[in-house]
C-alpha cells in the first residue's frame, strides 16, 4: 500500500517474478523507477526476474532495452535444425509443435544460446561491488529442494551458472553445477518476496508478470508493499519476440507510473494536468443537468424515484461506471470513467499515455469512421429490427441469432435530444444486456451535443467581432 500523500523517497527492495518472454515488462517498470528516482537497495528475482535483476544491479538500462527489443527464440534455445526440418512438412504447425514436444520429452530444450547471452551481458565483478544486494531462487533436482542465495553466498565465478539455473524453465534441459542438476526457481517461489524479507527490508516493490509457478505466502505485516502487476496480456511464456517486448516494456512503464500515483485512469493512462481537471468540470458543474440527461437519454422518469425500471436500468449503468472509477463514484469521476469504457469498447489502444481531450478526439474520429462506413449502412436493417423488440427476450434472441459488432450499436442514433420512445426503449434493452455499449453510446451523444453548443458559441463570437 502506498503511503497517503504519495510515496517516500527512501530505498526500496525490488522483487521480480518469473515469466519467460514476458520479462520485458519488468524493464518497463525499471524505466519508471529511474524516472521517479526511486533508489533500490536490493533485488530478488526468479527465472527471468533473476536475469533482469542482474542487469538492474549492474545499472545496464540501455543494454537491457537493446536485449529485449531484439530478442528472439533463437537467443534462448537451440532448435534451428529441428525446426527447419519440421518446416518442410506439409503440416508445418503440427510438425513444429511435435518437434518441440519431442525435444522436451528427450531431455529438454538446449539452452546454449541463453548461456551465451548471460555470459555476454553479465558483469559479475560489477554486481559484487554494487551497493545493491542481489538474490536469486532456483531448485535443485538432485536434492529436491529450493536454493535461495544472495550474491555473497554464491561462489566466485559461479554467478552465471546460478542465473542460468534460476532461469531453467521446466521445458529446458536442467543445468548442472558441480554434480547437481537445477531447474527454474518458479516451481518453488515465482515471486521471491520471502527472500527479500530475509534482509529485513520493509519498503518493497513487487512486480508480478503472471508467470507460471508457485507464489509462496509470507507474513506482510509491517511491510509497505507497492504491487505492480501487468494490466494487460503480455503474451506467451516462450513467445520471445522483440516487437512484443517493446509493447510489454511500455506497459510496464505505464503500470508502474500509475502504481506510484503519477498517472491516473482505470484501464487507460492519463497524465494529471490542468486540462484533465478542466474537462472533468463538464460533469461536476452540471451535475443535476447531466443527471437529468442520463434519465432522459434512457427514457426514464427523473421524478419517479421508486420506479422499478428506473432502478434496474440505472443500477446496471451506475455500477459499470463505478467499476471504472476504482469503486468511488463522484460527479468528477463520471466523465473519465465513461471515456475509458467507450475507448475500450471501440478497441482504442490503451498502451500509451493520453490526455482526456486526446482520447475524446480519437473516440469521435472512430465514431465518424463507423457511421460513414458501408458496413454500418448494411447493418441498419438489422438494427431497425432490434428496435421492434417488445421484450428483453425478443431482443436477446435477435442478438444471439445475428451476432453484432459493438461499434455499430455504440454509434447508432447517438443523439442526446432523441424523443422517439421506440429508440429509448431500445436503449433500455441495450443498457440491461450490454451496459458498456449503452454508456458508450450515451457518452458520444453528450460529446456531440457539447461540440455543437461550443461551435454555436464560436459562431456567435465570430459574428459579433
Cα→Cα distances 33→9, 203, 278, 332, Å: 11, 14, 29, 30
The answer to whether 133 touches 150, Cβ cutoff 8 Å, is: yes
Three cell numbers, residue 406:
459493438
Q: Residue 182 carries which DSSP code?
A: E
Three cell numbers, residue 132:
545493491
Q: Which residues, 6 or more positions from 328, have their beta carbon under 8 angstroms from its beta carbon? A: 322
Q: Which residues, 6 or more positions from 173, have their beta carbon under 8 angstroms from its beta carbon? A: 107, 108, 109, 110, 111
The rounded distance, in Å, linking the Cα atoms of 322 and 342 is: 14
Cα→Cα distances 32→40, 81, 232, 257, 323, Å: 13, 40, 17, 6, 26
Three cell numbers, residue 151:
550474491
Considering only CA atoms, which of 313, 290, 78, 305 is closest in space to residue 172? Answer: 78
Q: Residue 407 carries which DSSP code?
A: H
Q: What is the 3-state secondary structure (H, E, C) of 81-92?
A: HHHHHHHCCCCH
Say which of 184, 189, 208, 255 is annotated catalytic.
184
Q: Which residues, 6 or more positions from 217, have their beta carbon under 8 angstroms from its beta carbon? A: none
The SS3 call for residue 69 is helix
Say which of 47, 325, 389, 411 is annotated catalytic.
47
Instruction: Based on the residue annotation, tell me whether 47 is a catalytic residue of this protein.
Output: yes
Q: HSE of 322 in the Cβ direction (CA atoms, 13 Å)?
A: 9
Strands 224-229 and 269-270: unpaired
State the catalytic residues.
47, 184
Amino acid at each position: 500500500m502506498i503511503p497517503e500523500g504519495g510515496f517516500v523517497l527512501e530505498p526500496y527492495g525490488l522483487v521480480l517474478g518469473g515469466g519467460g518472454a514476458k520479462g520485458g515488462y519488468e524493464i518497463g517498470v525499471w524505466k519508471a523507477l529511474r524516472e521517479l528516482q526511486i533508489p533500490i537497495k536490493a533485488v530478488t528475482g526468479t527465472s527471468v526476474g533473476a536475469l533482469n535483476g542482474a542487469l538492474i544491479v549492474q545499472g545496464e538500462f540501455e543494454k537491457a532495452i537493446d536485449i529485449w527489443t531484439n530478442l528472439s527464440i533463437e537467443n534462448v534455445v537451440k532448435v534451428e535444425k529441428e525446426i527447419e526440418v519440421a518446416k518442410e512438412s506439409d503440416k508445418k504447425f503440427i510438425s513444429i509443435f511435435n518437434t518441440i514436444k519431442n525435444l522436451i520429452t528427450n531431455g529438454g530444450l538446449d539452452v546454449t544460446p541463453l548461456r551465451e547471452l548471460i555470459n555476454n551481458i553479465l558483469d559479475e565483478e560489477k554486481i559484487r561491488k554494487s551497493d545493491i544486494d542481489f538474490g536469486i531462487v532456483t531448485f535443485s533436482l538432485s536434492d529436491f529442494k529450493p536454493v535461495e542465495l544472495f550474491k555473497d553466498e554464491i561462489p566466485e565465478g559461479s554467478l552465471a551458472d546460478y542465473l542460468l539455473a534460476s532461469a531453467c524453465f521446466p521445458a529446458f534441459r536442467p543445468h548442472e553445477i558441480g554434480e547437481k542438476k537445477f531447474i527454474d526457481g518458479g516451481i518453488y517461489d515465482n515471486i521471491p518476496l520471502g527472500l527479500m524479507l530475509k534482509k529485513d527490508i520493509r519498503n518493497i516493490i513487487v512486480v508480478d508478470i503472471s508467470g507460471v509457478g508457485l507464489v509462496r505466502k509470507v507474513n506482510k505485516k509491517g511491510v509497505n508493499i507497492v504491487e505492480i502487476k501487468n494490466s494487460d496480456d503480455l503474451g506467451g511464456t516462450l513467445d520471445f519476440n522483440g516487437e512484443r517486448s517493446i509493447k510489454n516494456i511500455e506497459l510496464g512503464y505505464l503500470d508502474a507510473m500509475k502504481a506510484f500515483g503519477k498517472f491516473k485512469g482505470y484501464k487507460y493512462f492519463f497524465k494529471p494536468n490542468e486540462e484533465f481537471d478542466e474537462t472533468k468540470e463538464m460533469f461536476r458543474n452540471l451535475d443535476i443537468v447531466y443527471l437529468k440527461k442520463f434519465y432522459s437519454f434512457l427514457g426514464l422518469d427523473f421524478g419517479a424515484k421508486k420506479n422499478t425500471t428506473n432502478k434496474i436500468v440505472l443500477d446496471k449503468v451506475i455500477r459499470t461506471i463505478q467499476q471504472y472509477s476504482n469503486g468511488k463514484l463522484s460527479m468528477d469521476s463520471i466523465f473519465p470513467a465513461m471515456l475509458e469504457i467507450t475507448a475500450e469498447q471501440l478497441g482504442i489502444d490503451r498502451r500509451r499515455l493520453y490526455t482526456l481531450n486526446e482520447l475524446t478526439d480519437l473516440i469521435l474520429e472512430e465514431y465518424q469512421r463507423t457511421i460513414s462506413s458501408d458496413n454500418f449502412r448494411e447493418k441498419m436493417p438489422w438494427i431497425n429490427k432490434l428496435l421492434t423488440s417488445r421484450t428483453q427476450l425478443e431482443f436477446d434472441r435477435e442478438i444471439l441469432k445475428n451476432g453484432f459488432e459493438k461499434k455499430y450499436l455504440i454509434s447508432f442514433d447517438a443523439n442526446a435530444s432523441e424523443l422517439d420512445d421506440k429508440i429509448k426503449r431500445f436503449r433500455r434493452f441495450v443498457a440491461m444486456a450490454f451496459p458498456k455499449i449503452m454508456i458508450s453510446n450515451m457518452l458520444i451523444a453528450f460529446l456531440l451535443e457539447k461540440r455543437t453548443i461550443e461551435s454555436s458559441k464560436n459562431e456567435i463570437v465570430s459574428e459579433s467581432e
